[in-house]
Structure 1
């Protein structure tokens, strides 16, 4: 059980980091795009896709560890 608690903390952190990265890359890719060079815009668009996938994977992991711990899964 203690092992699942550790992974729950890791997955919660991964959701937060991925979400913040997603917000940053969306800001860079769209409202701030005019101020950035083309390679940075391309990287921001790619980052948007990668961080979105990160949010989804980390959230599914979070739900799995909550389930293993017998806690309510929302």
Structure 2
């Protein structure tokens, strides 16, 4: 009976370790994507006159891609927090 219990504890520790890693990576990706979206928005709109048309096109496309990455990383952060028993915000 104790070996079954120990197996469950080890599984719990492994899954918690996974959730901590996912939370850490998701937080990093959130920061990177927020900064990226802000930079691409600045390039796309208020400072567009300082950049060439190809750079502006790339910035517009990057805004969409980085916004999607931001959303996915936020969902991963929520999943990790839920898995760790933390309050999901």
Using structure 1 for the length normalisation, give the TM-score: 0.96
For the residue of structure 2 that corresponds to 1:71, the secondary structure is: coil
Q: 1:33 corresponds to which residue?
A: 48
Q: 1:62 corresponds to which residue?
A: 77
CA distance in 1, matches of 2:38, 2:86: 29
Compute the RMSD of aligned alpha carbons: 0.6
CA distance in 2, matches of 1:54, 1:17: 10
Q: 2:21 corresponds to which residue?
A: 6
Alignment: residue pair count: 74
> Rg bigger for which structure?
2
What per-residue deviation string (whole Å, max 9, x for no partner) do you get for residues 20-39 of structure 1?
Answer: 00000000000111111100
Larger RCO (CA within 8 A; separation ≥ 6): 1
The runs of 4+ residues in structure 1 deviating greater than 4 Å are none
